[in-house]
Structure 1
Amino acid sequence: MSSTTSAQLFSEPENDHQVMASWERFLNGDEGGADALRRLIDDSWRRCQGASVDPAIYQAPPPIKENSLHSLQTECSELLTASTPVMAAARDFLAETGTVMVLTDQSGTILNLEGDMSTRGAAEDVHLLSGANWSELACGTNAIGTALAVGHAVQIHSAEHYCAGIKRWSCAATVVRDPYDKSILGVVDVSALTESYNRLSLALVLATAGRIENRLAKLELDIRYRLLEECVARLSSRTTDGVIVFDRRGRAIKSNGRSSAIISDLGIDAAAVDPEGLSSLSLRWNKRKDSPDDLPDWIRREWVEPVIENGEHIGSVLTLPSRRGSMLAGSRRSSLPAASGDASDKRGFERIIGQSDALMQAVSRAQQLAKSRVPVLLLGETGVGKDVFARCIHESGTSAGAPFVALNCGGFSRELLSSELFGYAEGAFTGARQGGAIGKIEAASGGTLFLDEIGEMPLDLQPHFLRVLEEGEVYRIGENKPRKVSFRLIAATNRDLRKEIQSGGFRMDLFYRVAVTSINIPSLRDRTDDIALLGEYFLTQLSHRHDMPRRTLSPAVLSVLQRHAWQGNIREFRNVMESMLLMSGNTVLDVSDLPPHVLSPPLSSASSPSAATVVPAGSVAAMTVADGATPLTGMENAEREVILNAIIKHGGNMTAAAREAGIAKSTLYVKLKRFGIDERLKRSGLDGLTRDRQDMPA
């Protein structure tokens, strides 16, 4: 970005009187601009005048109705899911600085707000509220609307606003883009009254948007991993058919070796379709439909099979029938099989791998409780396998053949969690399905409802759920008639709910209904005796899944694995086993095959997601860079966290890390030096891995 373009981003409050005079002359038809008026603002005013926006407007149009807002939030559920924890992390900073943070959709309609309660009163006066539209057409020049109009970050201060009633505000905003196709998904905005102007508010929205985009990318990547796991048996089978896997957006991401030959057999120009490189093959797929909108002439509709996981469409499989084959893919619409030896093939507590005393105590308690239908609260760190314990309890109980319905309370906004949990009636809101939708509570009736991260349930939803537990009745949203339900509740959390009760974040009456009994599931570092068994299990499972020779662990590598902290527990351990299996050609895996982060201690507490905090822009953060270097600002700490996570995630591949962080590789090295972590990387061995792993998947 040039210095001229960069200068256009920032407001200059000292020029406010001159800008106000320019606005008055502009409205009177004087075309002459002023030196104080930025080209960005002049262009926006002209767009507003050309669109006949009333400069006397004192507030945005009234918010859309609640039903319409709920429908819009449902459409933008992934954006909300990615942004909610990022915006929540900024609450303290927003309260201290008298600002509000706003998230909108791609049209400028507000989806969610966080921020200072004293400022919210003034925000309500101008309709800075959920459901209100802040596009330039609706409100004239403002940070939200102008950022959408120009497609990049802007800061709009005081007199620079086009409409008179909004000139007492100072705002900064930037667009949030889809990490894959770069389309605009919405806007992040920070707004405050004029006297709270801060030039660094622009840095805050840029950092926030970057973190949201990183979470969106991770969400999409997680869905791809799940898709490939579902399809691995189909891809690795010795079928004579060609198999191509498409992600939920309709892009080809994987194919088997037969695809090219069969496409040639069909007489398709290989230059037009490249299943090996997968660069041009795509299907148009509406996420609300079970089949593509249209298909190339050479693909028959019955060849395309959606991949559905837990009711969610995560991709599709195109099976190209070989001329030697006798069966079309359309006749094989059974679910994709799991790999042999997977724990999912086993029932009940056979799924749990390990023999340590700590684990056996938890299993023994769970086996006893499985015989009854009392609510159970599973306690343990992230990744210890609370979901596996929940399913084991269900499958070992009296209702093993009944539904097991799981819902993560931390994965949705308040509105989406409400509809997922309770369901809704037909016509409950705009866009509601014909006939309504059953909620997870009803779906679990007769069986088990597993609520993961129950500590994340919004406080205002807790009494409604408590009523379901006490009365055995559920009301769908938009209905006045209750529906009888009976289910066993298993809940899970990694929080201390008693502390949450003391801080007002969780209701005591709900706690005593949920935690009739509890089970503490040990962390992996508390059951290191199980490392060898788990290693053998995962290597066997993953070798079969990837159609690779069986591998074993050397005594030396077992010793290292037993000393590692395993902050991600079983989930992290499985990923390490898969990484070693895929990256090493050795039959016996040794210490040299371990990922770097297992060999070295964590680079800093900042690299842990739980350590992410937002501090006032421009102030000295409590956390400093490694080795006692110069303290960083809040924005630099946030940026440092993103870079560290990217480096660790990609095992030291700096090219991939730079791409993940959204910066040039040369800039990455400058940042490493600025943040004082380049020497730390050298000591950890992460700095030289780029030379050794140029082909590592990003």
Structure 2
Amino acid sequence: MAADSQVSFSDPRHESAVVAAWESFLKGEVRSGEALRSLVDASWQRSLQAQVDPHARSGPNPLPDADLYLLRERQRELLEASAPVMACARDFLAETGTLMALADARSTILTTEGDVPALHSAETIQLVPGASWSEATCGTNAIGTALAVGQPVQIHSAEHFVQGIKRWTCSATVLRHPLDGELVGVLDVSGLSQTYSRQTLALVVTAASRIESRLAANEMERRYRLLEHAMGRFAGHDGVVLFDRRGNPIKANEHALLAVEAAGGRIDLAGGGRVPELAAGRLGRQPGRGTLPDWVRPEWLEPLIVQGEHLGTLLVVPPSAAPTRAPSLPSAPRAAAASAQRAPTANAFSRLVSSDPQLLDAIGKARQLARGRTPVLLLGETGVGKEEFARGIHGDSGGPYVALNCGGLSRELLASELFGYAEGAFTGARKGGLAGKIEASHGGTLFLDEIGEMPLDMQPNLLRVLEQGEIYRLGENTPRRVQFRLITATHRDLRKEIAAGRFRMDLFYRIAVTSLRIPPLRDRKGDIELLARHFLERFRREQGSPAGDIDAQALGLLQAYPWPGNVRELRNVIEGAVLLSDGPLLTRSALPREFIESAEAGDDNPPVPGGVRSIAEGEEALIRNAISASGGNLTLAARQLGIAKSTLYAKLQRYGLSR
């Protein structure tokens, strides 16, 4: 704490010593460093190198009104985000003798608010909109020095380099864009020396945080509009990468990684990797390849204009794009390490058995996705093999593979499983606490199956983890840093869930940076026989029996059945049939009667108790049936469904149901 105080806070008790140090500094004499903070000393050195006049009476003249108007138009986003804070300052700082100033990233003041007498006093030193208060212009001052060091600072009285502003005390902190960390401005509170308070710096930091939060919210709203506008552009065989208005890559299709690498570039969705040349207002300002990364061709870029606003840029790389430059080759050890880290093993997807072109194409795309760390959303019906794809994408990328199914758990149990808990967090909590699945996946991969089942009020907690890289165990106030790759899966149409208010749009776009659809088994008729023989061989081998075969009649029934449970259901049918078979030949008699009846009827919706195939496939209908059968007794309905009563209440709210 002592070091932080020395860097950030002034101490008026050292005023006379600082004055003496300033006089000695201007004479070039050796001076004592006891009273002079290193922050101020370094700033004085920069001021001297910039040839700032230490005897100046004020800052420079402000910009003409026309130039200030144009500057404010360019900084409209920052001004709009800070408007509530500045309006609050108008009232909060009244009669305090202080003012609040907002400046851009070049130290030019954009607007001021606060105590009226303080604003009048500020005019005498040109602390007004349009004036530049950089260190190179005004010497040591809170605005310029905060921008120079990139952190909160407090400059009091004699610590200023220029004599004419030594009557003032000021506290300032930089403003950074929350989505990529770019320095976008500075917020300052200033007043005459007698208004000094250490708490002023805390006020500035808090106000700056509010502005940054509004910047983030505004930027996320623009991203949602951009994604909605561009969602239909990710199909096809081209590599497609979507950049936001600041040049940050936010979404790519499954072909993008290889297409960009073939062109000689690299895109890192997980780590940011901003391309400033693609920011709104810069693209096309100076046409030609010289303003773009070497590997990007201008004809691949398409600005996306929505209602007159440039929201982002689409990069479309043809699959046959040749490298525009020879990429530098890493040394052999580094190349080997990179290959070991990014490339999945050849058998990472060996558990996926198929000869179907649709599924083989999905596997090929999954292999491409396995090379990076981008979040992936797997789409497909229950039992289609989403977890096998998740394991394949994880491959040998290093770190643990942790899976959790978000369906079928009560809200309380899901929260503790996901986030963990501290000792004493609730009755029955394990001594010493317990790490959750997120924490356990640190350095590896977290697979959240049935993400669409996650309770709505829990979704912001997951979103916060994904955005901040920190997790709080239940009952703890100390954050824990986590880094993992997220793979999610669902059988639901999350866009419909968003429209119904059951899933957050911001979480959807965070987990669906890339998505992969896995076709159902009924659309892969050729795989039915292949998988049936695969499972037959596997289960007979586990029994210590020689490989068997499937007779034509049984195989015909397998082909005719619609497989609502997909590969998982086929595996279970074959496993049961192997146990009931008397010999190596699997016949009709070994198959379940309900299965045979459904296959012979050719019914795409085989009969099951309650008229619903599964909770995952028809949860709402299953709950309706259970409540109806129990006569509205929710305790009995929950018992029949095999879930906690609290879980049933949550699902009633989800589907808008009542007794």
TM-score (normalised: structure 2)? 0.49
Higher relative CO (CA 8 A, sep ≥ 6), structure 1 or 2?
A: 1
Larger Rg belongs to? 2
TM-score (normalised: structure 1)? 0.46
